[in-house]
Structure 1
Amino acid sequence: MDILAFIEEWVANISNFLWTYLLAALLIGAGIFFTVRLRFFQFRFFGHVLSQTVGQIFKKDKHEGTITPFQAFTSALASTAGATNIVGVPVAIALGGPGALFWMWIVALIGMSTKYSEIMLGVKYREKNKKGTWVGGPQYYIKKALGWDKVAFAFALFLMIEAIPSLMVQSNSITTQVEGAFGWPTEITGIIMAVLVALVVFGGIQRIAKVTDKMVPFMVLTYLSVALVVIFAHVEQIPSVFGLIFTHAFTPVSATGGFAGAGLAQALRWGIARGLYSNEAGLGTAPITHAAAQTDHPSRQGLWGIFSVFVDTIVICTISGLAVLVTGTWTEVKPDNASNMIGNAFGTILGDSLGGGFIAIFLFFFVITTVGVLIFFGEKQAEYLFGLKFSKIMRFVYIGAIYVGALGGLQFVWQFLDLLLAFVLVCNIIPLLFLHKEIRAMTDDYIERIYHNKKGKPSVQLFSDQEKDISQ
């Protein structure tokens, strides 16, 4: 074995161990802790969450911020909705069985409190940069609330670097899909992607937000509509499919067709992993976009975190999972080709070629919005670490990574993706746990000052005073 292969295997083994055991336990434990600490806030106030998020999409009230709350939501959703929801879910079912979907739900339900908490802190400790744009994220609340400068630096550095392999993987995933569906050379698709993304990201967060608040809802609704047509075309299978999901969440499932079988450990491992990857609760990326939102209270913006996990995992992932289960494609396709399951499922209605083409097209546009937001994440870390000029340099590095990844180049770098994500997550989740008293206090304040206000008027003065103190 040569040195390069040895390092790749070593990195892969460490990453698998971390994500299968330590990080899964840390994230689930944190989600349970925040759920209990906030007295099951995401469940008790879910109706209020819906009224203050989807019910306020067209509201024109102006508060301090750079983009609207809905634009912050769609920008953050753009980084999670896409390949993980469409391709990742079938992979989880292929390796963990139908029961994996149940564990995705559990991870999402408890992860809502974690995502709410990090977004709330991201807004509370945001500040204006030299261009007058609101910026924030874990690095800001880690430094300001805890004084952990080195941890804040480490979070920003790891996320800035992690964006490079992440962009490569995203780019490669779509170029291979497009090549398989339409025969386009990866070089051409890579150039098109790089140019389109550059046109978006060079406009800053405002242009990214304007693109995502139009594209993401359209893509999600269109994808869900077609998937629901597929599901209801096999409506007679729905009761038995739910039986499989709940039964095999706790018991092994035998091999059948192309499915190799899976035990309880696999259902847990793949359901939890895909759930965590899908909604990114606790990873610390969502606060970066939400920090720019126009809002009157940090907790009000945090409600969008609860809603985003609901949309991302409970809705999109569930629909993707049901599509491959009711059509039976999960037993027809071998795990090595699990990414083709959803295209095959759609092919039962649209025809084989059209089904695969539909998925390829949607993945292309999903990835365009995803990589645009990933570049924004990376730029904000570069800005925090080394200033605005350096962030502009990193923008060109990231766009170059899109093209290199499209060609399948530097695959060795990809091996570090999960390891870097692990470092990013630890740098965020542990400070979050130390800030639990502040999270609880801010939540109680929101409930008392806003939720119990019968007229629903925001407590603008409270937030303004806090924001002035923080900015000084």
Structure 2
Amino acid sequence: MEEIAQWLYAIDELVWGTPMTVILIGTGIILSIRFGFRYQRKMCFNARNTYGQALKKGDGEGEGTISGFRAACTALANTVGTGNISGVATAIVSGGPGALFWMWLSAFFGMSTKACEIIIGQRYREHYRDSMDEFVCDRSFVLKNAFGWKRGAVVLAVFCFLFGPWTCSVQTEAVVGSMNEAFGISGLTTVAVIGITCLVTIWGGLRRISEVMSKAVPLMAAVYILMGLGIIILHWRDIPGVLELILVSAFSPVAAAGGFAGATVRDAIQFGVARGIYSNDVGTGYGMIAHATAKTDHPVRQSLWGWGEVFLDTMIICSITAFTIIITGSYYTSEATSGTLTTVAFSNVYGAVGGQMTAVVIAVLAWTTIIGMYYTCEKSVNYALGDTRLNKSLMPLYKIYYMLPCVIFYNVQADVLWAFTDILSALYVAVTLFIIVARHKEIFRLFDDFWERYLPAKERGENPPIVSFDCRTMKEGR
């Protein structure tokens, strides 16, 4: 295991080195400039057309499987999870407080990248009528429908559905550590409960998954935010010093102190960007998967959800986790890592009750992330098997396979699990960025069409035709 760990660390260091960071953030900067920073600066408009629309009755205009709000909640199940809690903790332990600055930077420009993923998902989706009656898309569907690369798409799909479930081990590892720290519950008991309840939920398919996500994710996110804000308010005098430490540490090495081993600037950048990407899913392609199912009148309107996911995930929840860990000094006074460190930080302020509440939040968010991640892996299976009876009949077996890594590898060292997860995330990012760059003209065409033609027509009271896509129907000539 030690030899495997060293190999994983070396590969992780290679793939998340300077080139990946420059390409990822650079792509976000170029896209943001091309979009006129609309996703960052038009937040009131974005909120009215996303969360504001979710308060109205009905699923919305357009073709799709579920409402835009439920699609966003399914996507949030991937983004708002233990990456915000244990991922941020490991980023600070490995990269120092400055890692949070690089999370912020990648997230700010990443809003535009996330929007492109959503547009791509809506543009190159297919309607699987026979086996599941759902609109589906992922990277493999795009490779086939946008480039005609059928063989390469199959290889990618098989890779994703075989290895994707392994990344969920970081979720169960965080829950096991937190529940043991707060309640003394054994690892076997924790993973047994997670395994059974997750399996029951994913057995119900997209509609059950989206229904659960639309209730559980907002509630747990709100509880965690309120708990974290309580700590920040109690220590409001320390906020200027924390901000200064974050900014200084982002550009200068941090010396070892207490249980903290110290960190270089490169560590801050590497772990900040890598953990930020895992947390908010910018560039990974998960956005195109979840949002392809949405009912919307235009792909670009659905892309407005992207800013909210990234903003809530990184700018708010990740920041709260980092501030809590830094304010309490837990990252250098405690030997804990991952979700256990966050539990310790909350316990330092609220006592045992605070640690227990944090452990419960971590458990529920990990649970929703495992369920949300299943849906993304399922799309790869759907592509490989096609809209056939085989697709429908083999899904129960895949659901069982999906849960196995979660319940088997929960006790592997956290750093090893995160290194493996980072490597897979880097591969997903590479494919997704290639797709965005290669299909940028189509993305820009739809973007300009929404802002220059479709939206002005709607605001004038006209009724322009809905802009919706189904690549399967288009190819069949229906």
Do the aligned residues in 2 keep the contact of 1:158 with 1:423 (CA within 8 Å)? Answer: no
Mapped partners of 1:123, 1:465: distance in 2: 7
Residues 87-145 of structure 1, C-alpha deviations (whole Å, 9 max, x = no match)? 22122223322222111110001111111001111012212112321111222222212
2:429 matches 1:425: yes
2:208 matches 1:207: yes
Please state whether the residue corresponding to 2:63 is helix, strand or coil: coil
Residue 300 of structure 1: how far off its partner (Å): 0.8
Higher alpha-carbon deviation: 44-53 or 223-232: 44-53
TM-score (norm 1): 0.91
Mapped partners of 1:471, 1:113: distance in 2: 33
Mapped partners of 1:257, 1:457: distance in 2: 64
Residue 447 of structure 1: how far off its partner (Å): 0.4
Tell me the residue number matched to 1:271: 272
Structure-to-structure mapping, 1:328-367, within 5 angstroms: 328-334=329-335, 337=337, 339-351=339-351, 353-367=352-366
Residues 263-285 of structure 1, C-alpha deviations (whole Å, 9 max, x = no match)? 32222222222222211111111
Higher alpha-carbon deviation: 87-96 or 73-82: 87-96
Tell me the residue number matched to 2:452: 448
Letter aligned with residue 76 of structure 1: A
Q: 1:460 to 1:381 in 2, by over 3 A?
A: farther
Tell me the residue number matched to 1:83: 82
2:285 matches 1:281: no
Residue 355 of structure 1: how far off its partner (Å): 2.5
Q: Percent identity?
A: 34
Q: 1:220 to 1:258 in 2, by over 3 A?
A: same
Residue 174 of structure 1: how far off its partner (Å): 1.4
Letter aligned with residue 398 of structure 2: M
Tell me the residue number matched to 1:141: 142
Tell me the residue number matched to 2:174: 173
Q: 1:252 to 1:457 in 2, by over 3 A?
A: farther
Please state whether the residue corresponding to 1:249 is helix, strand or coil: helix
Residues 350-400 of structure 1, C-alpha deviations (whole Å, 9 max, x = no match)? 21x223222211111111111111111112111110241333321121133
Residues 17-69 of structure 1, C-alpha deviations (whole Å, 9 max, x = no match)? 11233433332232223223323232343332122112222122343111111
Structure-to-structure mapping, 1:21-420, within 5 angstroms: 21-59=18-56, 60=58, 61-129=60-128, 130=130, 131-334=132-335, 337=337, 339-351=339-351, 353-387=352-386, 388=391, 389-406=393-410, 416-420=420-424
Mapped partners of 1:45, 1:93: distance in 2: 31
Mapped partners of 2:2, 2:256: distance in 1: 32
Tell me the residue number matched to 1:436: 440
Do the aligned residues in 2 keep the contact of 1:167 with 1:398 (CA within 8 Å)? Answer: no
Letter aligned with residue 108 of structure 1: A
Tell me the residue number matched to 2:474: 469
Higher alpha-carbon deviation: 272-281 or 181-190: 181-190
Letter aligned with residue 40 of structure 2: F
Q: 1:20 to 1:41 in 2, by over 3 A?
A: same
Q: 1:329 to 1:147 in 2, by over 3 A?
A: same
Residue 296 of structure 1: how far off its partner (Å): 0.9
Do the aligned residues in 1 keep the contact of 2:274 with 2:422 (CA within 8 Å)? Answer: no
Mapped partners of 2:190, 2:460: distance in 1: 49
Letter aligned with residue 23 of structure 1: M
Residue 469 of structure 1: how far off its partner (Å): 3.1
Q: 1:413 to 1:83 in 2, by over 3 A?
A: closer
Residue 414 of structure 1: how far off its partner (Å): 8.3
Residue 289 of structure 1: how far off its partner (Å): 1.3
**Two-structure CA RMSD over aligned residues (Å):** 2.6
Q: 1:457 to 1:188 in 2, by over 3 A?
A: farther
Higher alpha-carbon deviation: 317-326 or 455-464: 455-464
Mapped partners of 1:345, 1:7: distance in 2: 31
Please state whether the residue corresponding to 2:465 is helix, strand or coil: helix
Residue 297 of structure 1: how far off its partner (Å): 0.6
Please state whether the residue corresponding to 1:128 is helix, strand or coil: strand
TM-score (norm 2): 0.90
Do the aligned residues in 2 keep the contact of 1:162 with 1:417 (CA within 8 Å)? Answer: no
Do the aligned residues in 2 keep the contact of 1:347 with 1:356 (CA within 8 Å)? Answer: yes
Q: 1:222 to 1:372 in 2, by over 3 A?
A: same
Please state whether the residue corresponding to 1:452 is helix, strand or coil: helix
Do the aligned residues in 2 keep the contact of 1:155 with 1:423 (CA within 8 Å)? Answer: no
Mapped partners of 1:177, 1:347: distance in 2: 11
Mapped partners of 1:167, 1:97: distance in 2: 25
Do the aligned residues in 1 keep the contact of 2:125 with 2:469 (CA within 8 Å)? Answer: no
Q: 1:211 to 1:242 in 2, by over 3 A?
A: same
Mapped partners of 1:274, 1:11: distance in 2: 16
Do the aligned residues in 2 keep the contact of 1:125 with 1:470 (CA within 8 Å)? Answer: no
Letter aligned with residue 474 of structure 2: D
Residue 441 of structure 1: how far off its partner (Å): 0.8
Q: 1:283 to 1:265 in 2, by over 3 A?
A: same
Mapped partners of 1:415, 1:378: distance in 2: 20
Q: 1:338 to 1:292 in 2, by over 3 A?
A: closer
Higher alpha-carbon deviation: 323-332 or 61-70: 323-332
Gaps of 5+ in 1: none
Structure-to-structure mapping, 1:8-19, within 5 angstroms: 8-19=5-16
Residues 214-262 of structure 1, C-alpha deviations (whole Å, 9 max, x = no match)? 0000000010001101110111111221222223322333344433433
Residue 459 of structure 1: how far off its partner (Å): 6.2
Mapped partners of 1:413, 1:280: distance in 2: 17
Please state whether the residue corresponding to 1:282 is helix, strand or coil: coil
Q: 1:182 to 1:415 in 2, by over 3 A?
A: same
Q: 1:62 to 1:338 in 2, by over 3 A?
A: closer
Higher alpha-carbon deviation: 229-238 or 143-152: 143-152
Residue 310 of structure 1: how far off its partner (Å): 0.9
Mapped partners of 1:422, 1:361: distance in 2: 30
Please state whether the residue corresponding to 1:253 is helix, strand or coil: coil
Mapped partners of 2:200, 2:211: distance in 1: 12
Please state whether the residue corresponding to 1:296 is helix, strand or coil: coil
Letter aligned with residue 444 of structure 2: R
